[in-house]
């Protein structure tokens, strides 16, 4: 039995029964049968359904936003923004999917030769709770538009959201088996991946979960895309305009109560500008309103579960034992962890080495800009890096030194439907969004027609 709880007041929301083995088999069978006809539907028809999807998202925006806020504690204004981003995603593929999936004519010795982009089939998405609509939609929208069908194993604490997304696709006019939610535990995942019906898996989640899924999928020769944890650096060069960018820097760490894989977790600041950065950063986060996530002016809510706040607290405590200082914040109250600044941080501490999934900013002083880059790339993760500098002409010398999936200059790392999104190293592989994302789950097929 799955029971969802409101993390702000700890009240139970609803209980759900797990799908039985037979129900899972029926869901897989329905997906397989739906794919037979869905793959033959024209791309133009699929994009017309995307228009319906966007309209349904707009019509039910408040309902969906309140559901996310209730289930995982996201401040309501940020929940609204999440639905708006999903609408943007739909609009992007409405305009571009036909071009992305069009046959690519290649001139050879043949009468005709081209590359055809054919859907793979049934794709399983294992998704996290932190962006419960966006993470699912950025998989589902391009994948279904390419002609695949989707199965969703969502995080159990957002089960209501998972079922709402399933209903959303149905209400938008998609065939019933095009997008289905699986109410299963992790023990059932291996059997699902091993099914001959399933053709590929995508996961957004922890490094541990990614390794487990990749091992099962690899054993069964199933394609995978993994978007895993991050330990993003926010590098502040000595010529950075702190006053101009401080709001962005704070948002890069504190948005979604710090529960984001692409959040800035390590602030690596050149010595020359360190004191000013620290003072301004503290000033800004002091003004962030914490409280009831259902109130429009709340910026910092509770974390999604109390055990997650406890885990974050332990990472801070362990770092303090090693010599770090709590410069601001640091006192947990159940599932609430306040915006916190940690200083005197070195490369051996948990707040430097590990992913801190919550509103904790580790601030590290660098001797100069070169050392700041060296510290930034000292990470097992490779999701994204941001650099703040007024001398953007010199940034081209730095680009190839950053091995991450994204490098943002004078802005926070963020996902954008127009740009590919994904990581390197322990942050995973494969790409979502843009043209690259819609081509992840297609068969790139050579067609050669001779005289």
Active site residues: 227
Beta pairing class for 385-388 and 232-236: parallel
Q: Which letter, b or e, does each residue of 83-104 get, where b requires 16 or more Cβ atoms within 10 Å of its Cβ?
A: bebbbebbebbbebbeebbeee
Give the Cα separation of 129 and 136 in Å (integer).
Answer: 10
Give the Cα separation of 52 and 209 in Å (integer).
Answer: 34
Give the Cα separation of 440 and 222 in Å (integer).
Answer: 12
Report which DSSP code applies to 38: H
Element (H, E) at 296: none
3-state SS class at 8: coil
Give the Cα separation of 320 and 423 in Å (integer).
Answer: 30
Residue among 227, 221, 225 nearest 195 (CA): 221
Give the Cα separation of 170 and 176 in Å (integer).
Answer: 6
- What's CA 81's distance to the chain center, in Å? 15
Kindly provide the residue ranges of all beta strands, DSSP E only, lying in 214-331, ordered along the sequence: 223-227, 232-236, 264-270, 325-328
Give the Cα separation of 370 and 348 in Å (integer).
Answer: 20
Give the Cα separation of 73 and 90 in Å (integer).
Answer: 25
3-state SS class at 398: coil
Element (H, E) at 428: strand 428-429
Residue for token digits 């926010």? 234
Kindly provide the residue ranges of all beta strands, DSSP E only, lying in 309-420, ordered along the sequence: 325-328, 340-343, 360-366, 381-382, 385-388, 407-409
Give the Cα separation of 337 and 350 in Å (integer).
Answer: 17
Residue among 61, 71, 62, 67 nearest 2 (CA): 71
Phi, psi of 423 (to 5 degrees): -130, -175
- Work out the number of other CB atoms within 10 angstroms of the CB of residue 68: 27
């Amino acid at each position: 039995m799955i029971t969802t709880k409101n993390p702000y007041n700890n009240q139970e929301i609803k209980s759900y029964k797990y799908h039985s083995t037979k129900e899972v088999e029926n869901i897989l069978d329905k997906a397989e049968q739906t794919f037979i006809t869905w793959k033959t539907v024209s791309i133009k028809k699929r994009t017309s359904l995307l228009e319906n999807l966007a309209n349904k998202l707009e019509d039910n925006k408040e309902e969906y936003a309140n559901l996310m806020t209730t289930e995982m504690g996201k401040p309501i204004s940020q929940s609204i923004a999440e639905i708006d981003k999903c609408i943007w995603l739909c609009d992007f593929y409405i305009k571009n999917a036909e071009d992305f999936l069009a046959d690519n004519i290649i001139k050879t010795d043949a009468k005709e030769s081209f590359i055809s982009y054919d859907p793979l089939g049934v794709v399983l998405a294992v998704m996290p709770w932190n962006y419960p609509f966006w993470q699912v939609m950025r998989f589902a929208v391009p994948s279904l538009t390419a002609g695949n069908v989707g199965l969703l194993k969502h995080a159990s604490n957002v089960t209501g959201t998972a079922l709402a997304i399933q209903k959303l696709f149905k209400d938008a006019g998609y065939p019933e088996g095009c997008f289905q939610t699986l109410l299963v535990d992790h023990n059932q995942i291996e059997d699902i991946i091993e099914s001959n019906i399933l053709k590929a898996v995508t996961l957004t989640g922890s490094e541990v979960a990614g390794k487990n899924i990749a091992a099962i999928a690899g054993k069964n020769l199933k394609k995978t895309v993994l978007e895993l944890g991050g330990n993003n650096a926010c590098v502040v060069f000595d010529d950075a305009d702190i006053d101009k960018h401080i709001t962005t820097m704070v948002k890069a760490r504190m948005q979604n109560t710090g529960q984001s894989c692409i959040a800035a977790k390590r602030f690596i600041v050149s010595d020359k500008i360190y004191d000013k950065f620290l003072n301004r950063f503290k000033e800004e986060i002091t003004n962030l309103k914490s409280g009831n996530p259902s109130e429009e002016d709340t910026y910092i809510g509770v974390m999604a579960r109390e055990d997650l706040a406890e885990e974050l607290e332990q990472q801070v405590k362990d770092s303090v034992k090693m010599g770090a200082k709590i410069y601001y914040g640091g006192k947990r109250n159940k599932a609430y962890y306040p915006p916190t600044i940690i200083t005197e941080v070195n490369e051996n501490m948990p707040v430097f080495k590990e992913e801190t999934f919550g509103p904790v900013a580790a601030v590290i002083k660098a001797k100069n800009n070169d050392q700041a880059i060296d510290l930034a790339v000292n990470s097992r993760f490779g999701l994204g890096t941001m650099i703040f500098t007024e001398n953007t002409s010199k940034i081209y010398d730095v680009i190839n030194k950053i091995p991450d999936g994204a490098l943002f200059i004078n802005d926070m790392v963020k996902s954008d439907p127009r740009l590919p999104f994904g990581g390197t190293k322990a942050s995973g592989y494969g790409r979502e969004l843009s043209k690259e994302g819609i081509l992840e789950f297609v068969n790139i097929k050579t067609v050669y027609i001779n005289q």
